[in-house]
Chains A and B, each alone.
Chain A
Amino acid sequence: MITSKTTLKDLAGIVIAGLKKFDINATLVGGAVVSIYSDNAYQSRDLDFISPNDHASIVKAMEAMGFVRQGKNFFHQNTKFTIEFPTGPLGIGDDVPIKPEGEIETEYGKVTLLSPTQCVMDRLAWFYHHKDRQCLDQAVMVARAHPVNLSKIKKWSEREGAVERFQIFIERLKAK
């Protein structure tokens, strides 16, 4: 049941479980993943899911959970969080499509999401290609809170043509 006290993580679990009843798969991406991995040091109000299923089925499943659709967003009267299903496929920078490598347990079931390493790369993609320093900070937050594969991130950064910006990330990560 969704209440005003439902956390972002639990809401993700509730939505995934509700979608599963309609045979819909979805992966949590974006800022919500940063919130989960940073233990809410970064607070997102949006939950973005990428799903291979058709939008009409998703709308039906979301409405069954009590969500109301307004434009591209889904709202629920009991929570401040909004849900969106951006168009897939799931990708990070030029790596498209990618397979999500993260999974977390919630009271309501498992949630598939980006792994900490993929989450860092996802945030760095915005820093590399849109110079977004908020996302640099978020990448650092996640990499400080969870073990990440820096060698994989470095190789991916090279493919993205962002060796110098990867170095900025590393220096920020090392800084106190």
Chain B
Amino acid sequence: MSQALFGNNVAEKCLLYIANYGEGYINGIAKTFEIAPSQVQKQLVRLEEGGILVSRMLGNSRIFSFNPRLAFKRELEALLERQLSLVSKEDTQKYYRKRTRPRRTGKEL
């Protein structure tokens, strides 16, 4: 639905992923949605150039998150949050429920 608003399907997925997890990196997003990393990279860079996202290096990965200086950051996050609440249960479990809280080294998953 918001694909039209965000330009395309991949951009929408990137934004939803970042709204859901707080941040994301190219391969993580690509693997989650089973899309080519190059497509994800293209959209993340476009969104960063547009001032929607910012990025930083963590180890060998570039991590993208919302630009804290974005004037309508709160409204954008609220819009994406609303959209996340409308995602089907199956898709929510499949794409948006990876564990992000810590788990001690050596503890079984």
Seen from chain A, the residues whose Cβ lies within 8 Å of a Cβ on chain B are: 46, 71-73, 82, 126, 130-135, 137, 164, 168, 171-172, 175
A135–B103 CA distance with the chains assembled, in angstroms:
13
Which residues of A are found within 8 Å of B81, using beta-carbon distances?
Answer: 168, 171
Residue contact A131 to B100, C-beta cutoff 8 Å: yes
Interface centre among A133, A164, A168 (most CB of B within 10 A): A133
Which residues of B are found within 8 Å of A172, using beta-carbon distances?
Answer: 85
Which 6 A-B residue pairings sit nearest by Cβ, starting from the closest? A131-B22, A132-B101, A126-B101, A130-B101, A132-B100, A130-B100
Q: Does B104 contact A (CB under 8 A)?
A: yes
Which residues of A are found within 8 Å of B101, using beta-carbon distances?
Answer: 126, 130, 132, 134-135
Name the prevailing secondary structure of the B interface residues: loop
Name the prevailing secondary structure of the A interface residues: helix
Report the minimal beta-carbon distance from B47 to chain A, rounded to whole angstroms. Answer: 19
Residue contact B74 to A137, C-beta cutoff 8 Å: no
Interface residue total, chain B, C-beta cutoff 8 A = 18
- Contact partner, B85, options A73, A137, A171, Cβ 8 Å: A171
Report the minimal beta-carbon distance from A33 to chain B, rounded to whole angstroms. Answer: 15
Report the minimal beta-carbon distance from A171 to chain B, rounded to whole angstroms. Answer: 7
Residue contact B106 to A71, C-beta cutoff 8 Å: yes
A137–B92 CA distance with the chains assembled, in angstroms:
11
Which residues of B are found within 8 Å of A130, using beta-carbon distances?
Answer: 100-102
Q: Does B96 contact A (CB under 8 A)?
A: yes
Q: Does B99 contact A (CB under 8 A)?
A: yes
Q: Does B41 contact A (CB under 8 A)?
A: no
Which residues of A are found within 8 Å of B96, using beta-carbon distances?
Answer: 133
Q: Does B69 contact A (CB under 8 A)?
A: no
What 9 new A-B contacts, CB under 8 Å, besides A130-B100, A132-B100, A175-B85? A72-B104, A82-B108, A131-B20, A131-B21, A131-B100, A133-B100, A134-B101, A135-B101, A137-B97
Which residues of A are found within 8 Å of B104, using beta-carbon distances?
Answer: 72
A151–B81 CA distance with the chains assembled, in angstroms:
23
Q: Does B56 contact A (CB under 8 A)?
A: no
Interface centre among A46, A82, A134, A171 (most CB of B within 10 A): A134
A109–B107 CA distance with the chains assembled, in angstroms:
29
Which residues of B are found within 8 Å of A73, using beta-carbon distances?
Answer: 107
A172–B77 CA distance with the chains assembled, in angstroms:
15
The 0/1 profile, CB within 8 Å of A marked 1, for residues 3-47 of chain B is 000000000000000001111000000000000000000000000
Residue contact A133 to B74, C-beta cutoff 8 Å: no
Report the minimal beta-carbon distance from A145 to chain B, rounded to whole angstroms. Answer: 18
